[in-house]
A and B are shown apart, each in its own frame.
Chain A
Amino acid sequence: MALREPSTFADTLDAARRGDEWAISLLWTDLNPRLLRYLRVRHRDSVDDVASETWVRVNRSLSRFEGTDVEFRAWFFTVARSASIDWHRGAARRPNVVGNLDFVPDCTGDDDPAEAWIDTIDAKGALALLGRIPSAQSEVILLRVVAGLDAERVGQIIGKPVGTVRVLQHRGLRRLAQLLASERAEASDMAR
């Protein structure tokens, strides 16, 4: 899902600033799926609202951005993270839903949880699983895996040293491995 080579990306960015639909569509196609996957672990019913707010903010500041496609992606997710944090701050009166993915339906829609977990993991199930690990770990993994950013850029986005990012990703991966193993064991027990 890479955008384009840097020289071409500059053309795309210029065109997007002018409001050319092809360029906006290109940015949208690359970034919106990543954005939605990132936000789904952080938000319950407000994914569309926060996604929209992210695009509004990006649009507002687009003329000031200078950089490559990877730098643009890092900037985009910095904006998305700010929009997400602001939304949660504004919604402080409501129950905190960060990391709570109880609302996510069965990961495969299959009635047999054993079969569901043993056979496949789908995107919804994967995001639900990420909602069950500490939010600092899930955020790092999402920015690495979904946003496709390196540890240094993730550190810049979340305001932590790169060493801390690496510790968080190690712990997150281990936690996911443990959860997946326990899910499989539970499913096997239920199947008996």
Chain B
Amino acid sequence: MTATDGRFPKGWGSGEGRVTGPLALDDDTAERILHGAVAPDDAPPGYSRVSEMVAVLQAAPTAAEIAPSRYAFSAAAPRPRRSR
């Protein structure tokens, strides 16, 4: 079994299949990094720039991302009802 074939990795629950070694992460720390709850200065060794990257990905949207594109916003809008 592998981590990518849609089944539980062998030994899951005992820690097998997870990262070990110098960049090992416990579940709680990994979750907090993914939530953006670990500041780069507080990150485990080797993960400060990953924390920084998560913060960038979760940053407020840019004007371009909010601005209605030619197609997509009209696609988002249901056909308005006609008032009688």
The one of B8, B27, B60, B66 that contacts A28, using a Cβ cutoff of 8 Å = B66
Is A104 an interface position by the 8 A CB rule? no
**Which residue from A24, A53, A126 sits with its C-beta under 8 Å from B53?**
A126
Of B36, B60, B69, most A-chain CB atoms within 10 Å = B69
User: Does A18 lie within 8 Å of B49, measured CB to CB?
Assistant: no
Determine how close the nearest CB of chain B comes to the CB of A31; give it in whole angstroms.
Answer: 9
A177 x B3 contact (CB < 8 A): no
Nearest to B70 among chain A residues (CB) is A48
Residue contact A18 to B81, C-beta cutoff 8 Å: yes
- Taking a contact as CB atoms under 8 Å apart, the answer to whether B36 and A55 are in contact is no
Q: Restricting to B42-75, which residues have a CB under 8 Å from any CB of A? A: 46-47, 49-50, 52-54, 56-62, 65-66, 68-73, 75
Does chain B have a CB within 8 A of A168? Answer: yes
Let me know if A176 and B50 touch, CB within 8 A.
yes
Interface contact B34-A169, CB-CB below 8 Å: yes
Q: Which of chain A's residues 1-36 have a Cβ closer than 8 Å to chain B?
A: 1, 16-19, 21, 24, 27-29, 32-33, 36
A121 touches B6 (CB 8 A): no
A32 pairs with B66, CB closer than 8 A: yes
Q: Which of A58-107 contact B (CB under 8 A)?
A: 58-59, 62
Cβ contact of A32, chosen from B27, B46, B52, B65, cutoff 8 A: B65
Query: Looking at B65, B70, B71, B72, which has the most chain A CB atoms within 10 Å of its CB?
Result: B72
A123 CA to B53 CA, complexed, in Å: 8
How distant is A38 from chain B, measured CB to nearest CB, in Å? Answer: 10
Contacts of A145 in B (CB 8 A): 34, 36, 54, 57-58
A156 interfacial by beta-carbon distance below 8 Å = no
A180: nearest chain-B partner, CB-CB: B49
Q: Contacts A164-B4, A167-B9, A176-B50 known; A62 to B18 CB distance under 8 Å? A: no
Beyond A167-B3, A170-B25, whether A62 also contacts B71 by CB under 8 A is no
Q: Which residue of A lies closest to B54 (CB)?
A: A145
Could you list which residues of chain A lie within 8 angstroms of chain B, going by C-beta atoms? 1, 16-19, 21, 24, 27-29, 32-33, 36-37, 48-49, 51-56, 58-59, 62, 121-123, 125-127, 129, 134, 136, 141-142, 144-146, 148, 159-161, 163-164, 166-171, 173-174, 176-178, 180-181, 184
